[in-house]
Amino acid sequence: MKITVVGAGYVGLVTATCFAELGNHVLCVEKIESHLNKLKKGIPHIYEPGLEEMLKKNLEEGRIKFSTDIKEAINFSEVIFICVGTPQSDSGKADLSQVEAVSRQIAEFMDGYKLVIEKSTVPVNTHQWVKKTISRYAASDLDFDVASNPEFLREGSAVFDFMNPDRIVAGVESDRARQIFEELYEPFTKKGHPLLMTSPAAAELIKHSANSFLAMKISYINMIAQLCEKVGVDVNMIAQGIGLDERVGAKFLNAGIGYGGSCFPKDVKAFIKIAEDHGLEFGLLRETEKINANMRRVFLDKVEEILWINKDKHIAVWGLAFKPGTDDIREAPAIDIVGELVKNGANLRLYDPEAAANFKQLFPENENLQYVNDKYSALENADALLIITEWDEFQEADLDRVKKLMKLPIIIDGRNIFPPEKMQGFEYYSMGR
Ligand code: UDX
């Protein structure tokens, strides 16, 4: 099939590349020239495992093209994915101005039937606005459908998630749209991945409900972790004990310093606002946010309790990205934690395999804050090591070497990456254990 993707951010670029990999012909339109220039050479402007190789291959084989020309893109195919940003506005609501702008461009340039598919995360009933906008601004009375097809991919495993979806949700209103979805996703349904057809409103709501539920699950286990510390129980035992119940499920019960990233914080906030706009107070999600924000404080209090005075202490920090497998630092716990330690006058050595360049923009290097190129260099002469992101390479660290390099063998682990029983010879602290 021929497919147009508008927006080459995380979702757009992964969607475009993976659809090309599946044998479709994809035209991806992106307005940021610097990103576009890299993409045309097969270099993604984001770090995502497996993406660069797949992009290069599909560029070479001629199945994916990039352009800034929206008219060309709209005329290219009858299937148009809207993958533009829906950032958080000051009120917490999603800012939908880019979605509106694309809808107006589709209205202006459409040259035949179009299936317009929202993939960006949007508030419920946004599809009605997209429909109304296209109808209002349409230069002709050509037929079109608007559908919702939310994306559930995780950063750091986006390509894998796209190719191995737990489910595909398609919110459609016409048989024509339904048939296009069946064809589009046939490579997945053939292999047994479920394609759930719903109304567009239900599909929009599924995305916010799913992300908020997962965020709530994390805050729930983090609250339990705090209780575990008070009563001397290991939170991992609780996670296992409740996770084995299939009704609860074992995933997303890793206690630690809480969630960050471009989705959970923004989507939970937006969902609270959506409920409020419909006269409902979503206290459950407000509490989810509160617990999550507090986990950073809990970690910092622990650091202070263990080190007493932070000023002039040499502290190594492992991990800056909001999660492993990405260079993304949006809403990363490391921002608050490093920020507070800087304020307290600590001497920091920071290491992250991918996210240091982004972090440097917020915290430039100075005599008290240095970035290093490998995890061991961060440890020289350190009074303590803080673990903020659970990269695999930290779990695989040579602990004897770690101990030798540090001035004091103190590890404060915000992600519970080591089994406490393996930490003899260290003063090892973690979350809820
Ligand atoms: C999330 C959703 O998982 C995905 O379906 C959606 O499309 C986009 O938002 P993402 O933000 O990339 O994906 O990462 P995810 O793996 O979900 O982790 C989010 C945050 O929660 C990270 O900061 C992670 O460290 C934290 N987390 C996750 C926990 O603290 N504990 C857990 O058990 C799981």
Q: Whose CA is nearest to atom 19 of ligand 1?
A: 259
The predicted pLDDT at position 90 comes to 86
Left, alpha or beta for 259 (phi > 0: left; psi -120 to 50: alpha)? Answer: beta
pLDDT-derived band of residue 159, with 50, 70 and 90 as boundaries? very high
The predicted pLDDT at position 140 comes to 84
The predicted pLDDT at position 143 comes to 96
47 against 52, higher pLDDT = 52
Q: Whose CA is nearest to atom 25 of ligand 1?
A: 323
The predicted pLDDT at position 93 comes to 85
Cβ 389 vs Cβ 321: under 8 Å = yes
The whole-number average pLDDT for the span 216-226 is 98
How many Å apart are CA 53 and CA 169, to the nearest integer? Answer: 27
Contacts of 135 (CB under 8 A, 6+ apart): 107
Instruction: Write out pLDDT tens, residues 232-266.
Output: 999 999 999 999 999 999 999 999 999 999 999 99
Instruction: Write out pLDDT tens, residues 336-354.
Output: 999 999 999 999 999 999 9
Owner of token pair 């610097």: 34
Instruction: Write out pLDDT tens, residues 21-48.
Output: 999 999 999 999 999 999 999 999 988 9
Q: Quick one: 26 exposed, middle or buried, by C-beta within 10 A (0-12, 13-18, 19+)?
A: buried
How many Å apart are CA 321 and CA 328, to the nearest integer? Answer: 5
pLDDT-derived band of residue 92, with 50, 70 and 90 as boundaries? confident
HSE at residue 122, side-chain half, CA atoms within 13 A, is 30
How many beta carbons lie within 10 A of that of residue 382, not counting itself?
24
Cβ 212 vs Cβ 267: under 8 Å = yes
Instruction: Say yes or no: CB of residue 416 within 6 Å of ligand 1.
Output: no
Instruction: Say yes or no: CB of residue 260 within 6 Å of ligand 1.
Output: yes
The predicted pLDDT at position 91 comes to 84
The pTM for the full model equals 0.94
Residues, the chain = 433
Q: Which domains does the chain possess?
A: 2-198 (3.40.50.720), 200-433 (3.40.50.720)
The predicted pLDDT at position 88 comes to 85
Residue 75 pLDDT exceeds 90: yes
pLDDT-derived band of residue 139, with 50, 70 and 90 as boundaries? confident
Ligand 1 atom nearest the C-alpha of 415 is 30
Cα(39) to ligand 1 centroid in Å equals 26
pLDDT-derived band of residue 94, with 50, 70 and 90 as boundaries? confident
61 against 156, higher pLDDT = 61
Handedness of CA 294, 295, 296, 300 (dihedral sign): positive
How many beta carbons lie within 10 A of that of residue 132, not counting itself?
12
Residue 217 pLDDT exceeds 90: yes
pLDDT-derived band of residue 76, with 50, 70 and 90 as boundaries? very high
**Which residue out of 323, 336, 389, 430 has the highest number of ligand 1 atoms within 8 Å of its CB and is therefore the one to mutate?**
323
Instruction: Say yes or no: CB of residue 213 within 6 Å of ligand 1.
Output: no
Alpha helices, H only, 61-146? 70-76, 97-109, 126-137
> Minimal CA–CA distance to 382: which of 352, 405, 415?
405
Phi/psi of residue 353, each to 5°? -65, -25
Mean pLDDT of the chain: 96
Instruction: Write out pLDDT tens, residues 98-129.
Output: 999 999 999 999 999 999 999 989 999 999 99
Instruction: Say yes or no: CB of residue 225 within 6 Å of ligand 1.
Output: no
Ligand 1 atom nearest the C-alpha of 260 is 23
Ligand 1 atom nearest the C-alpha of 257 is 30
Instruction: Write out pLDDT tens, residues 269-284.
Output: 999 999 999 999 999 9
Contacts of 37 (CB under 8 A, 6+ apart): none
Cα(259) to ligand 1 centroid in Å equals 6
Cα(243) to ligand 1 centroid in Å equals 17
Alpha helices, H only, 232-355? 235-243, 264-277, 283-307, 333-343
Give catalytic residues, as residue numbers: 263
Instruction: Say yes or no: CB of residue 259 within 6 Å of ligand 1.
Output: yes
Residue 374 pLDDT exceeds 90: yes
| DSSP 8-state class, residue 153 | P
How many Å apart are CA 211 and CA 265, to the nearest integer? Answer: 9
Instruction: Say yes or no: CB of residue 323 within 6 Å of ligand 1.
Output: yes
**Which residue out of 226, 248, 264 has the highest number of ligand 1 atoms within 8 Å of its CB and is therefore the one to mutate?**
264
pLDDT-derived band of residue 63, with 50, 70 and 90 as boundaries? very high
